[in-house]
Amino acid sequence: MSRLASAFAKARSEDRAAFVAYLTAGDPDAEATVALARALDRAGADVLELGVPFTDPIADGPVLQRAAARALASGTTLDSVFGMARRIREETNLALVLFSYLNPLYRAGLSGAAARARDAGLDAVLVTDLPPEEAGSYATAFRAASLDTVFLVSPTSPAARMSAAAKLSSGFLYVVSRAGTTGTRAELPADLPRTVERARRAARDLPIAVGFGISNPAAASRAASLADGVVVGSALVERAEAAGSDRVEAVAALAGDLAAACRRVRGHGRSRPRLTGAWGARPRS
């Protein structure tokens, strides 16, 4: 069982959703990123998505666009992201997902990037702008390096695309809660339960994690009642941005509240998601 699958299995055994946090690597510098990762680990995060900054982040809203710009201005490269990952692996128990657009990985060479990711202690790769229909060589390269591959589905994904994304995924299937870009929202969309149910039919025995727009403990609690994992990115990055030099304490406080919200409460109208099969399952062929 991979470290990522183990994180979801541990959360399930504790009757809670896994808390998946996101940071843009190098925002505002490498030292801050490692310090924030340590704080997230202490606060109860299970998984960290470590974002590779990119010049054209088409899936990201203003908060993560600003984070990428700061990281690039500080000189962050794919190599330095791997260096940060190596330190985070040594200093935390977090499962680590490399969160990237395709271009940085493609320029580095998929096989080479996969090997370097593995050697840096990363556990999985998620490429935001790679559709499953075009993912054959990508998935092969990263599976060969014993890395999980995570794919995205959304409310607008037809059943065939959800099935294709689930077939290529291991670790978990990422459900985008709404159409559009990343960013904080006041509440989750009303049709999220239906989207999660459709994704669960496609995923079968694979955990489901919900992200995009989860900005507070109330939203995290609702997502935890539907899915196996809750992904929070923009809210954490925005909190760090606003806090400046006090970013570690500010992010730790929010992360602690979010982690608590991922715990399921028995007897209060919240049901545990129906889960079957082997949590460590690899992609189906």
Q: What is the mean pLDDT of the chain?
A: 90
| Boundaries of domain holding 204 | 3-261
For residue 280, is pLDDT > 50?
no
Set 29, 49, 123, 228: catalytic member? 49
Set 27, 29, 46, 60: catalytic member? 60
Q: Which residues of 225-261 are buried (b: 16+ CB within 10 A; e: fewer)?
A: bbbbbbbbbbbbbbbbbeeeeebbebbbebbbebbeb
Residue pair 40/255 in contact by the 8 Å Cβ criterion: yes
pLDDT band with cut points at 50, 70 and 90 for residue 117: very high
Q: Which of 19, 60, 69, 74 is nearest to 251 (CA)?
A: 19
CA angle 164, 228, 89 (to 5 degrees): 90
Is the residue at 274 inside a domain? no
In the predicted model, what is the mean pLDDT of residues 53-78?
A: 93
Is the residue at 279 inside a domain? no
C-alpha to C-alpha distance for 75 and 92, rounded to whole angstroms: 24
Is the residue at 277 inside a domain? no
Tokens at residue 112, please? 């080479």
In the predicted model, what is the mean pLDDT of residues 69-82?
A: 98
Is the residue at 237 inside a domain? yes
Is the residue at 22 inside a domain? yes
What total number of domains does the chain contain?
1
Instruction: Give residue-wise pLDDT tens across range 218-264.
Output: 999 999 999 999 999 999 999 999 999 999 999 999 999 999 999 98
Residue pair 46/263 in contact by the 8 Å Cβ criterion: no
Q: What is the CATH number of the domain that holds 100?
A: 3.20.20.70
For residue 178, is pLDDT > 80?
no
pLDDT band with cut points at 50, 70 and 90 for residue 184: low
For residue 271, is pLDDT > 70?
no
Q: Kindly report whether the peptide bond that precedes residue 53 is cis, defined as omega within 30 degrees of 0.
A: no
Alpha helices in the chain (DSSP H): 3-13, 30-43, 62-73, 78-91, 102-108, 110-119, 136-144, 159-168, 192-203, 217-226, 234-243, 247-261
In the predicted model, what is the mean pLDDT of residues 274-280?
A: 37
Is the residue at 38 inside a domain? yes
In the predicted model, what is the mean pLDDT of residues 109-117?
A: 96
Residue pair 159/153 in contact by the 8 Å Cβ criterion: no
Q: Which residues are bridge partners to 263 per DSSP? A: 16
Clarify whether 49 is annotated catalytic: yes
C-alpha to C-alpha distance for 264 and 180, rounded to whole angstroms: 28
Clarify whether 187 is annotated catalytic: no
